[in-house]
């Protein structure tokens, strides 16, 4: 008989560890959500431009964020092995490699305009989106340095500092948005470009603030000096072997949501705006699962370092159960509030565009009903991937993600979205299908590998 208590007793510790991570991730997500909400009050055209611009930024940034998780994976194992020299090397190599990667991403974002035209986006939307992307591109460089410090601290289960920095960064971003989107206090009224300025400046502040806080923590001081790495080919190879497939896995997943944005853009401004609103709301609730995924990565990595595979499997399953329960509740709330939530992103008092706003709200409500359903499978596949990263298993999960999103989900999104009357509802049915398939494959993969480790350790 299964003793459920062995799993539920882990809930409290997992939640304490996850809370700062979740809030920090919410903060990062809120950069885009705040920009969307504040720009949406200028007009639906500006909202569509922010949506399109953020889709390109998010696609390449997702690879960088996925790649940077290697720092947490390796640190969580190394810290338990009590090897400070190796642990310091993980940080220095992380800063160096993530820094180089940020320059590549920065360059890649300057090819956004031909891609926008290739995917048949509206010309008036492209005209606003391209300069927005170019400005935000600069912010990727400090963001990746920040990620290096954040992921390293996460590997030590020190998760609260990045939260403090993220809160400060977000408050500053909101203030700059207020100044430059709307032209307050004598500043120029820049609309969507004002949102890019707020993002850029706040992200340049964040790595410096986090480094100072970590340096003043006596547990971390020894790691925060002499950050120029002595290049070790073995360490670089380990980063690439884990980081590239981890980054690609995130791109495959994020890419299907980007594709949904592009397809909705072909359908028109109203559909693109509705897609962005629904996606912003779903992304906020997804952060709980994403935070728990990091906890799974940390704790599985810790127990891997200790070679305690029974505990490794137990804590992972406890996280699976917790996320299933929380996502059921969140999905229900989204379903109930599906007509009220979209109004937060639109100025419903603008009578000149009232009919358009009504269409956006109705379409968003349909999408949020589907989003309420896929909270469950999305949460499960995310924490399963975190557990697999803790095992340093990256290549097969990458392949499973590609199959789920681009062999299963994309054809459904494309056909139902562009060739049936379902339109954006059809696109989101495709998303739901891919997420469900990924949840089954990734969870099965983890249970198989962890069971194999336990069997091998006791043979």
pLDDT digits (tens, 9 = 90+) for 141-195: 999 999 999 999 999 989 889 889 988 888 888 888 788 777 788 777 776 677 7
CA distance 170 to 165: 9
Q: What is the mean pLDDT of residues 337-341?
A: 89
For residue 121, the SS3 value is coil
Is-contact 31 199, C-beta < 8 A?
yes
pLDDT at 353 over 90: no
pLDDT at 354 over 70: no
Please name the helix (run of DSSP H) or strand (run of DSSP E) that holds residue 448, with its range, or none: helix 424-457
Q: What is the pLDDT of residues 220-265, one digit of tens each?
A: 999 998 888 788 899 999 999 999 999 999 989 988 988 888 788 8
Neighbours of 310 (CB within 10 A): 12
Residue 210: band (very low, low, confident or very high) from pLDDT cuts 50, 70, 90 = very high
CA distance 388 to 249: 12
Q: What is the pLDDT of residues 25-48, one digit of tens each?
A: 777 666 666 666 666 666 667 777
Cα–Cα distance list, 68 to 98, 247, 271, 426, 452 (Å): 7, 8, 33, 33, 28
Is-contact 144 102, C-beta < 8 A?
yes
pTM of the entire structure? 0.84
The 3 state secondary structure assigned to 280-303 is: HHHHHHHHHHHHHHHHHHHHHHHH
Task: Output the CA torsion sign for 398, 403, 404, 409.
Answer: positive
Residue 201: band (very low, low, confident or very high) from pLDDT cuts 50, 70, 90 = confident
Q: What's residue 258's pLDDT? A: 80
C-alpha of 300 from chain center? 20
pLDDT at 80 over 60: yes
CA distance 229 to 68: 16
Q: What is the mean pLDDT of residues 431-459?
A: 93
The token pair at 184 is 């307050």
Long-range contacts from 227-236, C-beta under 8 angstroms, 24+ separation:
227/91, 227/92, 227/95, 228/92, 228/96, 229/89, 229/92, 229/93, 229/95, 229/96, 230/89, 230/92, 231/93, 231/96, 232/89, 232/93, 235/89, 235/90, 235/93, 236/93, 236/97
């Amino acid at each position: 008989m299964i003793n459920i208590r062995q799993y539920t007793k882990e809930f409290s510790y997992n939640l304490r560890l996850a809370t700062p991570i979740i809030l920090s991730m919410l903060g990062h997500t809120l950069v885009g959500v705040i920009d969307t909400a504040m720009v949406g009050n200028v007009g639906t055209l500006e909202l569509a431009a922010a949506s399109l611009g953020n889709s390109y930024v998010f696609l390449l940034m997702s690879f960088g964020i996925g790649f940077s998780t290697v720092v947490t994976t390796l640190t969580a194992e190394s810290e338990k092995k009590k090897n400070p020299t190796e642990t310091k090397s993980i940080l220095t190599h992380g800063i160096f490699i993530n820094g180089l990667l940020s320059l590549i991403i920065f360059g890649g974002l300057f090819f956004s305009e031909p891609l926008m035209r290739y995917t048949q986006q509206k010309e008036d939307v492209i005209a606003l989106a391209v300069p927005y992307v170019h400005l935000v591109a600069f912010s990727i460089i400090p963001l990746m340095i920040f990620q290096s410090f954040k992921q390293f601290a996460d590997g030590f289960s020190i998760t609260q500092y990045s939260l403090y920095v993220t809160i400060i960064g977000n408050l500053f971003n909101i203030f700059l948005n207020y100044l430059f989107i709307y032209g307050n206090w004598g500043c120029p009224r820049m609309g969507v470009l004002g949102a890019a300025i707020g993002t850029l400046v706040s992200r340049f502040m964040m790595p410096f603030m986090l480094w100072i806080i970590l340096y003043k923590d006596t547990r971390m001081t020894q790691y925060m000096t002499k950050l120029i790495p002595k290049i070790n080919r073995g360490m670089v190879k380990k980063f690439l072997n884990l980081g590239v497939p981890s980054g690609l896995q995130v791109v495959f997943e994020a890419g299907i949501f980007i594709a949904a944005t592009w397809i909705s853009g072909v359908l028109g401004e109203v559909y693109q705006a509705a897609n962005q609103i629904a996606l912003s709301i779903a992304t906020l609730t997804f952060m709980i699962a994403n935070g728990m995924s990091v906890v799974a990565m940390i704790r599985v990595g810790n127990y891997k370092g200790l070679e305690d595979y029974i505990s490794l499997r137990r804590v992972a399953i406890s996280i699976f159960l917790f996320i299933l329960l929380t996502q059921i509740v969140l999905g229900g709330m989204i379903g109930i509030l599906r007509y009220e939530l979209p109004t937060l992103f639109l100025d419903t008092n603008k009578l000149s565009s009232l009919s358009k706003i009504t269409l956006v709200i109705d379409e968003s409500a349909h999408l949020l009903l589907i989003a309420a359903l896929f909270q469950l499978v999305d949460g499960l596949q995310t924490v399963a991937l975190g557990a697999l990263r803790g095992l340093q298993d990256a290549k097969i999960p990458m392949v499973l993600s590609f199959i789920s999103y681009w062999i299963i989900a994309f054809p459904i999104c494309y056909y139902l979205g562009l060739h049936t009357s379902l339109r954006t509802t059809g696109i989101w049915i495709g998303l739901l299908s891919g997420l469900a398939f990924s949840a089954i494959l990734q969870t099965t993969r983890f249970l198989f590998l962890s069971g194999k480790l336990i069997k091998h350790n006791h043979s």
